[in-house]
Amino acid sequence: MAGSLIGRVAMISLHTSPLDQPGTGDAGGMNVYVVEVARRLAARGIEVDVFTRATSSRLDPVVPLCDGVAVHHVPAGPFEGLTKQELPGQLCVFAREVLRAEAAKPAGHFDVVHSHYWLSGQVGALARDRWGVPLVHSMHTMAKVKNTALAVGDTPEPPARLIGEQQVVEAADVLIANTDLEAHQLIDLYDAQPARVQVVHPGVDTDVFRARTDAERAEARRQRDLPQDALVLLFAGRIQPLKAPDVLLRAVAELVARRPDLRPRLVVPVVGGPSGSGLERPTALANLATELGITDVVRFVPPVPQHELAGWYSAATLVAVPSYNESFGLVAAEAQACGAPVVAAAVGGLTTVVDDGNSGLLVDTHQPHDWAAALEKVAGDPGLRDRLAAGALVQAERFSWDATAERTLSVYERARSLMRQANQPVG
C-alpha cells in the first residue's frame, strides 16, 4: 500500500511458532498464515517482529525468518511439556517479557499489534494499552463454534477460553475474519461490533502450490512409490478428532466393501502427526485402520515441508478434508492450487474455499456412507475428476497471499483510524 503509515508490526503467536513444522503438535494453518503474511509485509518495507513462546533452551532468543522479519523466542514457563490448556498460567510472564522487549526500543517503536488466537489476544490487549497502538486480532478458531460441532470423543473447549475470547473481542480495535461466515459468527456469537470486523481471506503460495504437467504428476507419484494407475485419496493435516481423518478411513472401508474392484488400485496416504486431543491416543488412527481391515491401502506419512506437501497434492486423485470445523481450510485451498479436486465437509470456511460441483464436492454430513458415495463419485469418474481438477485451478486463483497482505495492511490503517476516533475528546 503506497504511502502507508505502518512501519513496524508486532505479531504475537504465543502458543505456536511460525518456525514450527505444520502438521503436528499445535502447528498448522495458523503457522503458515503468520509466516506468509509477515513475509509479504516485509516485502512492502514493513518490519515485523513475531513473539512466540520459547519451547527449548537451545533456541536463539531472536531468529531471522527473512529480511525484515524476526522471530523472538520469549521464555515463559517450562520449555517443554506445556499443553495449550496450561498456557493461560504463563500469560503474565509472557506479556511481561514482550513489554520488556519493546521497552528497550525508542518510544513508539511499533505502529500496530496483530495477535493470533485468543491466548495471544490477551497479551496483545495489554500491549495495546501500554504502547498506545491499535490491536488487530485474528481468532483462527473460536470456542463457541468448535463446541457446537464436536467430533465424537473430542473435548469441549473450557469456560476459561470462552471468557478469554470474549475479552479479546471487546479489546480489539479490529477483528480479522477469514470468511464472511466467520465475520457473522463473531457478530452473532460474540457481539462484535460490525464496523470492527473485516474479512480478509488467507492465501496460497502459488510458487509452491501450482499446477503440474502430466509428466510432473507422474514423477510425483514415482517419487512417492505410488502406482501410476492408483486412486490416491489423500488426507493432509493434524491427526486429531477435529480434523476427522477417521471419517475418511471409515468411508474408505465402506467404499471397498461396496466396490471391491477398486481395492487393488486404492492408496490412502495420511500425511500429518498427532495433535490436540489426538495426542492422548497417538495410535488410535492406525488401530482403526486395523479394525476396519484396510491397512493394505492406508499409508501413514509424517509431516512434510511445504514443497513436499505440494508433491503429495499433485500425486493425489483427490484430497479429502472431512473436518468438523475449519475457519478457512488452507489444505483445501493449497490442494486446489495444485489441480487436485477436493471432497470436503460442508462446514465453516470450506464452503467458501471449495466451489461445490466445480472445484470439488461438499458433503453435508460426516456419515461414512455419504463420504463413500462422494469419494466413489469422484474417483470412479475420470471425466468428472478432470472437470473438477480444471475448476480447482480456477477457484485457487481467488486466494493470494499478496492480496491477503495488502488487505491486512489496509486493516491496520483502519485500526489506527478507529483508535484515533475513540481517543478524541467528546464535545
Contact status, residue 219 vs residue 128, Cβ threshold 8 Å = no
C-alpha 417/C-alpha 195 separation (Å) is: 12
412 annotated as a binding-site residue: no
Question: Is 100 assigned a ligand-binding role in the annotation?
Answer: no
Annotated binding residue 31: yes
Any known ligand binding at 27? yes
Contact between residue 392 and residue 107 where contact means Cβ atoms under 8 Å apart: no
Total H helices, total E strands in the chain:
15, 14
Alpha-carbon span 410 to 419, nearest angstrom: 14
User: Which position has the grid cell 471397498?
Assistant: 256
* Residue listed under C-alpha cell 503506497: 2
Q: Is 30 assigned a ligand-binding role in the annotation?
A: yes
Tell whether residue 22 is among the known ligand binding residues.
Answer: yes
- Does residue 105 have a known ligand-binding role? no
Distance CA 203, CA 350 (A): 13
Annotated ligand binding at 117? The verdict is yes
208 is in an annotated binding site: no
Would the annotation count 296 as a binding residue? no
- 161 among annotated binding-site residues: yes
Residue that has been written with the C-alpha cell 531472536 in this structure: 62
The answer to the question of whether 84 is labelled as a binding residue is yes
Q: Are 138 and 114 in contact (CB under 8 A)?
A: yes
Q: Say if residue 313 carries a ligand binding annotation.
A: yes
Whether 193 has a binding-site annotation, put simply, is no
Q: Is 156 annotated as contributing to ligand binding?
A: no
Residue 44 CA: distances (Å) to CA of 31, 47, 70, 377: 20, 9, 15, 45
191 Cα distance to chain centroid: 24
Q: Say if residue 165 carries a ligand binding annotation.
A: no
Binding residues for UDP-N-acetyl-alpha-D-glucosamine: 21-22, 29, 238, 243, 304, 326, 334
Binding residues: 15, 21-22, 26-31, 84, 117, 141, 161, 238, 243, 304, 313, 316, 326, 334
Binding residues for 1D-myo-inositol 3-phosphate: 15, 26-31, 84, 117, 141, 161
Binding residues for Mg(2+): 313, 316
